[in-house]
């Protein structure tokens, strides 16, 4: 049977001592400083970019002449160069949304250290709950064991670990294992086709009339706690004058950390819901049709300029926060690789008109939609129903006008424009 290579990432929580946390923090700040030095060396030259060889030579010289550069392992320093070059490649790729690489600020940048050599990790399972891993210049560290890693445990999945990345978030340091496996090539998915409308009042509305919804990511008490902390941070920031670039006070930093943990909790719950929902959809449907939304343009501020100030700025800001909180782009990203693994396909179709057009007769009128209710103004038709369901059916029927598609090629060839039909 034909097989394909499957690469995945597995995140686990590290159990570190205070001294080990200090070492990793120092490595991460050194990696950030190395990025900034590379960016200055790479861009501020006489009319040309530096080559990879020149950058590599500059890193070796810096590690010999600057003492604190030695905090970062040599392989991790090379990984910073590789990541930096890839950032420029993404920027020059017209199909990639990446922006131009720039300097990384000390406050606000995500701390991360790469461990590109898998042989240095020496992963071993200790017991049912914990495993152990070697980290360069840190030593032996325990990590939370929640899933068998390929090629590590006896009787576990076949494959291998190709490297890891250490990332710090609001809850502490995590290790992200890069895994590689050979799995059977997916066969064409036998399931039906579905259109999905992403929204705010209804998270996901399907063309079959069903919906996928969720509650608030934070409980009422947690939301009130977050509101009080945000007011507290604003008061602390206002009462302490400081020059730009100066670190905040310890009290303000502690408040910021509490806010970050609550927001990280909300994000974890959102990602967990998205994973469960997208797995269910990928198992059930062979072709998933979604709108090709330009989310970055949708969440732009309405402030305008001094000469031409915007209108309804506060309302637009609230809408932008709601759209950002739903993370529509992440939902599609999860759907793409999950449907591909199951022999399915994700198709993106043009977005204009899907929420204003009646799927039954094709009549288009913006006045037909009133909130979550759609009433066709065509007297011959007169269809009435949920507006998001109507939009999802239009999205499904527009599969023949796709602007892009990712997944199984056999499924891609079978997608044809569907005639208008009732839900």
- pLDDT tens digits, residue range 205-242? 998 889 999 999 999 999 999 999 999 999 888 776 66
Phi, psi of 365 (to 5 degrees): -160, 125
**Interval 62-88 mean pLDDT:** 91
Residue 423 has what pLDDT?
39
Residue 243 — pLDDT band, cuts 50, 70, 90? low
Residue 161 has what pLDDT?
92
Residue 402 — pLDDT band, cuts 50, 70, 90? low
DSSP string, 260-314: HHHHHHHHHHHHHHHHHHHHHHHHH-SEEEEE---HHHHT----B-SSSB-SSHH
Residue 46 has what pLDDT?
60
CA distances from 72 to 30, 34, 67, 116, 141 (A): 6, 9, 11, 13, 18
Residue 240 has what pLDDT?
65
Residue 412 — pLDDT band, cuts 50, 70, 90? very low
What is the SS3 string spanning 376-396? CCCCCCCCEEEHHHHHHHHHH
Structural contact between residues 194 and 418, judged by C-beta atoms closer than 8 angstroms: no
Q: Is 70 exceeded by the pLDDT of residue 413?
A: no
Mean pLDDT of the chain: 86
Residue 262 has what pLDDT?
95
Q: Is 50 exceeded by the pLDDT of residue 9?
A: yes
DSSP 8-class letter at 95: T
Q: Which structure tokens are listed for 338?
A: 């999950």
Residue 36 has what pLDDT?
92
Residue 420 — pLDDT band, cuts 50, 70, 90? very low
Q: Is 80 exceeded by the pLDDT of residue 386?
A: yes
Structural contact between residues 285 and 192, judged by C-beta atoms closer than 8 angstroms: yes
CA atoms within 13 A on the CB side of 98: 15
Percentage, residues of the chain above pLDDT 90: 46
Dist. CA 34–CA 44, nearest whole Å: 15
Q: Which of 210-224, 287-301, 371-385, 391-405 has the lowest mean pLDDT?
A: 391-405
- pLDDT tens digits, residue range 275-291? 999 999 999 999 999 98
Percentage, residues of the chain above pLDDT 70: 91
Q: Which structure tokens are listed for 72?
A: 């970062």
Q: Is 70 exceeded by the pLDDT of residue 405?
A: no
- Cβ neighbours for 90, distance < 8 A, ≥ 6 positions apart: 96, 98
- What are the helix (H) ranges across 66-119? 74-92
Q: Is 70 exceeded by the pLDDT of residue 417?
A: no
* Greatest mean pLDDT range, 242-251, 254-263, 309-318: 254-263
Nearest to 10 by CA among 178, 191, 140, 144: 178
Residue 77 — pLDDT band, cuts 50, 70, 90? very high
Pairing of the two strands 287-291 and 345-349:
parallel
Which of the two residues, 258 and 318, has the higher pLDDT score? Answer: 258
Residue 245 has what pLDDT?
62
- Cβ neighbours for 219, distance < 8 A, ≥ 6 positions apart: none
Helical packing angle, 250-284 and 328-341, nearest 10°: 40
Residue 4 has what pLDDT?
86
**Interval 43-64 mean pLDDT:** 82
Residue 422 — pLDDT band, cuts 50, 70, 90? very low
Residue 30 — pLDDT band, cuts 50, 70, 90? very high
Helix or strand or coil: residue 176?
strand
Q: Specify the pTM.
A: 0.84
Q: Is 70 exceeded by the pLDDT of residue 182?
A: yes
Q: Is 70 exceeded by the pLDDT of residue 368?
A: yes
Q: Is 50 exceeded by the pLDDT of residue 421?
A: no
Q: How many CB atoms lie within 10 A of CB 350?
A: 13
Q: Is 60 exceeded by the pLDDT of residue 418?
A: no
Q: Which helix (H) or strand (E) holds 236?
A: helix 220-239
Dist. CA 140–CA 130, nearest whole Å: 13
Structural contact between residues 287 and 415, judged by C-beta atoms closer than 8 angstroms: yes
Q: Is 50 exceeded by the pLDDT of residue 166?
A: yes
């Amino acid at each position: 049977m034909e097989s394909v290579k499957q690469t995945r990432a597995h995140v686990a929580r590290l159990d570190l001592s205070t001294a080990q946390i200090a070492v990793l923090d120092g490595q991460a700040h050194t990696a950030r400083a190395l990025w900034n030095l590379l960016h200055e060396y790479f861009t501020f030259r006489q009319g040309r970019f530096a080559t990879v060889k020149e950058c590599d030579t500059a890193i070796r010289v810096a590690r010999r002449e600057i003492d604190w550069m030695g905090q970062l392992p040599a392989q991790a320093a090379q990984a910073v160069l590789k990541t930096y070059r890839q950032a420029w490649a993404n920027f020059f790729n017209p199909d990639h949304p990446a922006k131009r690489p720039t300097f990384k600020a000390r406050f606000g940048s995500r701390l991360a250290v790469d461990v590109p050599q898998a042989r240095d990790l020496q992963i071993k399972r200790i017991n049912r709950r914990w495993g152990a891993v070697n980290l360069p210049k840190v030593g032996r560290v325990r990590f939370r064991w929640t899933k068998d890693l390929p090629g590590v445990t006896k009787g576990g999945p076949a494959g291998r670990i190709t490297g890891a990345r250490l990332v710090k978030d609001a809850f502490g340091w995590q290790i992200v294992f890069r895994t590689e496996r050979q799995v059977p090539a997916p066969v064409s998915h036998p399931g039906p086709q579905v259109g999905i409308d992403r929204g705010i009042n209804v998270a996901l509305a399907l063309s079959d009339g069903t919906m996928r919804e969720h509650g608030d990511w934070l409980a009422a008490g947690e939301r009130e706690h977050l509101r009080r902390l945000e007011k507290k941070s604003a008061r602390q920031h206002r009462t302490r004058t400081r020059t730009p670039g100066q670190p905040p006070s310890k009290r303000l930093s502690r408040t910021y950390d509490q806010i970050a943990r609550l927001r990280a909790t909300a994000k974890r719950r959102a990602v967990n819901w998205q994973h469960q929902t997208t797995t269910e959809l990928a198992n059930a449907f062979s072709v998933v049709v979604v709108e090709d939304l330009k989310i970055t343009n949708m969440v732009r501020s309405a402030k305008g300029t001094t000469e031409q100030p915007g209108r309804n700025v506060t309302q637009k800001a609230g809408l932008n926060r709601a759209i950002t909180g739903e993370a529509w782009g992440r939902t599609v990203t999860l759907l793409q690789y999950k449907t591909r693994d199951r022999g399915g396909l994700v198709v993106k179709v043009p977005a204009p008109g899907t929420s204003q057009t009646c799927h039954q007769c094709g009549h288009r009128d913006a006045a037909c939609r009133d909130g979550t209710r759609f009433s066709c103004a065509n007297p011959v038709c007169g269809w009435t129903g949920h507006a998001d369901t109507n939009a999802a059916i239009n999205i499904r029927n527009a599969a023949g006008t796709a602007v892009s598609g990712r997944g199984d090629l056999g499924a891609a060839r079978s997608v044809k424009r569907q005639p208008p039909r009732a839900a």
